[in-house]
Amino acid sequence: MAVVGDIVGPVAIERVAHGGHCVGRWEGVVHFVRHALPGEQVMVKVTEVAKRYVRSDVVEVVQASPERVTPRCSVAGLCGGCDWQHAEPAYTRELKRQVIAEQLRHLGGYTWEGAVEEVEPAPFHWRTRMRYAATADGRPGLKAHRSNRVVPLPPEGCVAAVPAIANPGRLAGETIAVAPGKGRPVLVGAEQQVLVEEVAAGRYWRVSSNGFWQSHPQAADTLVQAVLEGLEPRADEVAFDLYCGVGLFAGPLVDAGCQVWGIESDAEAVRLAGINVSEGAEFLAASVARGLDFLPRDADLVVLDPPRVGAGARVVASVVARQPRRIAYVACDPAALGRDLGYLAEEYQVLGVRAFDLFPLTHHVECVAIFERR
């Protein structure tokens, strides 16, 4: 087997895989290759060796895919930001569609035939939140893939970021840059915390600069609309907003006439949720698995918006025990959605799954799945 640093190939690229790379083989060994496309023949540099596979990166394209393009950014492929700048933007959504379909089929036993929906702005100048690092001489940069090595920004700045925060100037350490929905851009140290104000779902939202808020400027509205259309909330229903953050889904559910309970492990986010949604909702700072024990024993609607690892069997079982009529699952990882879909399948049917390209030219994608009690 090759060792780290070896250049081998040509590797025949077979298909896309979850995580921003493609699967190929060379001399019987599986390669997870970054910056390749299905159908290509590429020479690769080995970057990591495991027992049953290696990770590698393209150094030469021997036979190119017709979907390959020249990246717009001069450091594409060096920094860890964009996975797919070397592909036609529409084709990147097709690659994500293939990944979602495979994960839902393999892990959840569900056949998905949808498409990944484009959301403007795309494919550049969409990130309203950035975490920059500094080079030794203070130049702004981004960390390389799976590394702490800092890759300096090109002169034009980051093409994924909105122009207001695309080139932050000289830095001292890691820095958070935010272009909020209301007010001026904010540039603060990663360990500092200031409040910014976002606008979504007809409300204003106070969010910490280092707290969670979607990076795409249309993401919050897009996801809220998909969740509400799927749940069809009714006045006086009881709704849970689990992994609620600063209350993004709780607010619109209150506006629809629901009584809402929210749970979030981040105490600062819970404090802000109580300010953002000051009436019609109660919020608890706790892990969702533990916090559910303190919520009502019955619920009509549940929103699950878990982190990348998913909700898990324990949380899903506790939700199912409430017998809500509908569940909306917002997933940033199709593998986690597939696993949790399998846990729900016995008592809930899938009404539909929508996928949104809220992270253009990366492997990330957001899905909203709607479940109804059988």
**What 3 state SS string does the chain have?**
CCCCCCEEEEEEEEEEECCCEEEEEECCEEEEEECCCCCCEEEEEEEEECCCEEEEEEEEEEECCCCECCCCCCCCCCECCCCCCCECHHHHHHHHHHHHHHHHHHHHCCCCCCCEEECCCCCCCCECEEEEEECCCCCEEEEECCCCCEEECCCCCCCCECHHHCCCCCCCCCEEEECCCECCCEEEECCCCCEEEEEECCEEEEEECCCCCCCCCCHHHHHHHHHHHHHCCCCCCEEEEECCCCCCCHHHHHHCCCEEEEEECCHHHHHHHHHHCCCCEEEEECCHHHHHHHCCCCCCEEEECCCCCCCCHHHHHHHHHCCCCEEEEEECCHHHHHHHHHHHCCCEEEEEEEEEECCCCCCCCEEEEEEEEC
Given 22, 79, 258, 332, the catalytic residue: 332
Give yes or no: 332 in active site.
yes
Catalytic residues: 332
